[in-house]
Amino acid sequence: MMNTDNDMIQEQINEIFSAQKVQALKMRSSTSLLRIALLKKLLNWIKVNHEDIRRAVYADFKKPYPEIDISEIYVVTSEINHAIKHLEGWMKSKKVPTPIIMLGTKSYIQFEPKGTALIIAPWNYPFNLAIGPLVSALAAGCTAIIKPSEMTPHTSALIRRLVEETFDKSLVAVVEGEIQVSQMLLAKPFDHIFFTGSPTVGKIIMKAAAENLSSVTLELGGKSPTIIDLKADLKDAAEKVIYAKFLNCGQTCIAPDYVLVHESVKDKFLSLLKAQVEKMYNPKNKGIENSRDYARLVNSKHSKRIKHLLSDAKMKGAIMYSGGNNNEPEKYFEPTIITNLTGDMEIMQDEIFGPLLPVIGYADLEEAINYINLKPKPLALYLFTTDKEIQKRVLKETTSGGAVINDCALNFLQNELPFGGVNTSGIGKAHGYHGFLAFSNEKSVMKQRIGMTSTKPLYPPYGITGRKIIDGLLKWF
């Protein structure tokens, strides 16, 4: 970027940021009616421009329309409808009980908008992960600047159009650009930063936020494990794992990154996985590359990265059980299942974020649990078993942002549940009420009576009465 371009973008950022700071003060006292009206405008734009959203996302990485409808559009419209339905209740102050020492007081939590928010979005669900957080920001009464991903330029331009046609830029604005633009934005003292992306960049975001003590929500990624217990319904599990893994060409933060399967059912499960890939993406035997139901990798950098992960694993002794075909200029990479894995392979170190599925056998559950616990805390964990004791044990002995029993990735669609990671896979939660909370300050308010209060006898000079009250408090409460 030329210096003059930089100066222009900086000026634009300064102007929008100042206008939003003024607007944020007005939004502080905004009613649920006003916020609902804003959400309805957003919903209406999405409905009217449904076809344009499909075209933009498809142009970016050939994502099939049914996948766009579910994972980009439905998730956002359901988030909006959920917020519209519940917003009045969410915004109501919540009374809290009064402890004995505070007798005579009343306390409650009042939810106020944090102020001006920055939303930085990734490319893998480019519409959903920019507009989903905007729903929570508007519900909470914040203003927002959105920085979409530069890797999905068609969707980025569409998001800009959406925002320009729907909101005044003092309320919501889009600033497009690459890392440098992101860093210019990060230098501003935002009241909240909502970032979705990789753990590596998450650390950069948190450092920048620390300069201004901006609060953060970090929606990151990681290696989400899937356990297939010997008491799993193997066919059902294979169908669900293959769908969640190869949706979006494996570029999903909560995709099953790798599978741990009980040795006694491993061979059977592998053959079911392979058959399921054929059933979903090659039903007429015309080749997966010709399937209209399979997306592409986002760019050639990622095609090369996936190819490298596979060849590194093969070089170190991995076996390609199925798949492996690819066409780099087309960014096509066949759903690929790999076995015979070891910890020194790169594929078993960082999040794969592509259509490679490692399948590892385990002899007993403890081994699987230890394997997971030795890695950074995952965003999601999936367990397939009909055994309730095993379900309880795995939930108790592992940690992850979310967990799903007998399915994969569905937790993203349940907007009553908080969505997010833990440490390396994320900080803070999103969706529904939890998204509203992320953009709200939970102000604690206490009202005291005038005159004699329950705490005045404790004031100096410290005498016998105060002492007796303190002794009583220490003894009984």
Site residues for ligand NAD per CB under 6 A: 120-125, 129, 147, 149-150, 178-179, 182-183, 196-198, 201, 204, 219-221, 253, 351, 353, 379, 421, 426
Query: What is the nearest approach in angstroms of ligand NAD to the Cβ of residue 182?
Result: 3
365 C-beta neighbours (distance < 10 Å), count: 20
Q: Do strands 440-447 and 326-327 pair parallel, antiparallel, or not at all (unpaired)?
A: unpaired
DSSP 423: B
Beta bridge partners of 225: 258
DSSP 347: G
Distance, CA of 447 to CA of 104 (rounded, Å): 9
Q: Which is nearer to ligand NAD, 111 or 258 (CB)?
A: 258
Q: Which is nearer to ligand NAD, 250 or 361 (CB)?
A: 250
Query: What is the nearest approach in angstroms of ligand NAD to the Cβ of residue 201?
Result: 3
Q: By beta-carbon distance, which residue lies closest to ligand NAD?
A: 221
Distance, CA of 428 to CA of 416 (rounded, Å): 15
279 C-beta neighbours (distance < 10 Å), count: 12
Query: What is the nearest approach in angstroms of ligand NAD to the Cβ of residue 401?
Result: 8
DSSP letter for each residue of 240-286: HHHHHHHGGGG--TTS--EEEEEHHHHHHHHHHHHHHHHHHH-TTSS
Distance, CA of 445 to CA of 96 (rounded, Å): 10
| Residue length of the chain | 477
93 C-beta neighbours (distance < 10 Å), count: 11
**Is the N-terminal amide bond of 97 cis, ω within 30° of 0?**
no
Q: Which is nearer to ligand NAD, 111 or 246 (CB)?
A: 246
Q: Which is nearer to ligand NAD, 36 or 120 (CB)?
A: 120
User: What three-state secondary structure class fits 96?
Assistant: strand
Q: Which is nearer to ligand NAD, 194 or 321 (CB)?
A: 194
Q: Which is nearer to ligand NAD, 48 or 179 (CB)?
A: 179
260 C-beta neighbours (distance < 10 Å), count: 22
Copy the structure tokens of residue 204.
């950069």
Copy the structure tokens of residue 111.
């939810």
Distance, CA of 448 to CA of 428 (rounded, Å): 33
Q: Which is nearer to ligand NAD, 234 or 298 (CB)?
A: 298
Give the residue numbers marked as catalytic: 219, 253
Query: What is the nearest approach in angstroms of ligand NAD to the Cβ of residue 149?
Result: 4
Q: Which is nearer to ligand NAD, 143 or 217 (CB)?
A: 217
Q: Which is nearer to ligand NAD, 125 or 384 (CB)?
A: 125
Q: Is 58 exposed, middle or buried (0-12, 13-18, 19+ CB in 10 A)?
A: middle
Q: Do strands 225-228 and 258-262 pair parallel, antiparallel, or not at all (unpaired)?
A: parallel
Query: What is the nearest approach in angstroms of ligand NAD to the Cβ of residue 419?
Result: 7
Distance, CA of 181 to CA of 96 (rounded, Å): 43
Distance from CA of residue 81 to its chain's centroid? Answer: 19
Query: What is the nearest approach in angstroms of ligand NAD to the Cβ of residue 425?
Result: 7
Query: What is the nearest approach in angstroms of ligand NAD to the Cβ of residue 11?
Result: 20
Query: What is the nearest approach in angstroms of ligand NAD to the Cβ of residue 412?
Result: 8
31 C-beta neighbours (distance < 10 Å), count: 12
Query: Phi-psi bin for 287: left (phi > 0), alpha (psi -120 to 50), beta?
Result: left
Query: What is the nearest approach in angstroms of ligand NAD to the Cβ of residue 383?
Result: 20
Q: How big is the CA angle at 347 (ends 344 and 348), to the nearest 5 degrees? A: 60
| Nearest one of 122, 185, 193 to 155, comparing CA atoms | 122
